[in-house]
Amino acid sequence: MLRVENATGGYGSVQILNGANLSVERGQIATLLGGNGTGKSTLLKIISGLMKPWSGTITFDGQRIDGMRSDSIVRLGLVQVTQGKEAFPGMTVEENLRLGAFVRHDRAVVARGLERAFEYFPILKTKRRQLAATLSGGQLQMLCIARGLMSEPKMMLLDEPSAALAPQVVLDIFRIISRICRDGMTLLMVEQNVRMALLLASYGYVIKDGVIKIEGPADALMKDVNVKLSYLGGTVAEQEKQLNLNH
């Protein structure tokens, strides 16, 4: 459904991606892992059109999307949820959700989207008239995922949905993401929480120095100690500690 071939890109004259390749099949949950600053968010932004690739080919659902505007890409059914920062604090939960349907000027779609969002995230229904500024970190992350769903995408790109959240909240969010995928969503998810990501995903990619260094079925990656050591910086002891955090 999504194929990225030899994508390069960066900021100003600084090259970050050095020819990244990955693909995600329809209905698949794939995860993109890698240490801090290795280009995970950059790759997602290049896929979703928030940034233009310098070179390379990106196809989604049989269509070239590299160089397309992000709103056109959303219209094709590919939406990115960034790291929980995109909610407007001065707007209510419901207003934020409605914005997510901006590419679909259809009242029925908006109504259906709200219903679906509230079904996945009942807490957002009880807070629908409250300002987003009053939400907790976990609820904000839920709002951003729900908002991404409002355009009725076929595929979502999630950038660290568990970032900076308490373990119990992380579990809640992963459970809902898993449900969304069972209902037919295709997903590419960037995660720091490697264990959770590999439990949820069926396939994983590890990026380093702007290229995909390792890829494979999630259960194989889980067993592969090289992966565990290569995606995390720091000492082996620090890595072990990080890995054990989520047992």
Ligand X SMILES: Nc1ncnc2c1ncn2[C@@H]1O[C@H](COP(=O)(O)OP(=O)(O)O)[C@@H](O)[C@H]1O
Give the interface with ligand X as residue ranges (CB under 6 A).
11, 16, 34, 36-42
76 or 197: whose CB is closer to Mg ion? Answer: 197
Gap between the Cα atoms of 228 and 226, Å rounded: 5
Looking at 41, 96, 192, 193, which residue binds Mg ion (CB under 5 A)? Answer: 41
104 or 213: whose CB is closer to ligand X? Answer: 213
Q: Kindly state the smallest distance separating residue 232's Cβ from Mg ion, in Å.
A: 15
Q: Tokens representing 13?
A: 């004259």
Q: Kindly state the smallest distance separating residue 15's Cβ from ligand X, in Å.
A: 10
Q: Kindly state the smallest distance separating residue 115's Cβ from Mg ion, in Å.
A: 32
Contact by Cβ (8 Å): 58, 4? yes
Classify the C-alpha dihedral 5-11-13-17 as positive or negative: negative
Q: Tokens representing 5?
A: 């071939």
Q: Kindly state the smallest distance separating residue 182's Cβ from ligand X, in Å.
A: 27
Contact by Cβ (8 Å): 76, 91? no
Which of ligand X, Mg ion, none does residue 36 bind (CB under 5 to 8 Å by kind)? ligand X
Contact by Cβ (8 Å): 196, 165? no
Q: Kindly state the smallest distance separating residue 65's Cβ from ligand X, in Å.
A: 19
Give the list of residues 6+ apart from residue 61 with CB closer than 8 angstroms, or none: 1, 76, 77, 78, 154
Helices (H), 104-166: 107-120, 122-126, 137-149
Nearest residue to Mg ion on Cβ basis: 41
Alpha-carbon distances of 138 from 64, 147, 163, 169, 206, rounded to whole Å:
35, 14, 9, 6, 26
11 or 129: whose CB is closer to ligand X? Answer: 11
Pattern 213-242, Mg ion, x by CB under 5 A: ------------------------------
Which of Mg ion, ligand X, none does residue 193 bind (CB under 5 to 8 Å by kind)? none
Which of ligand X, Mg ion, none does residue 24 bind (CB under 5 to 8 Å by kind)? none
11 or 168: whose CB is closer to ligand X? Answer: 11
**Contact residues for Mg ion, defined by CB under 5 A:** 40-41
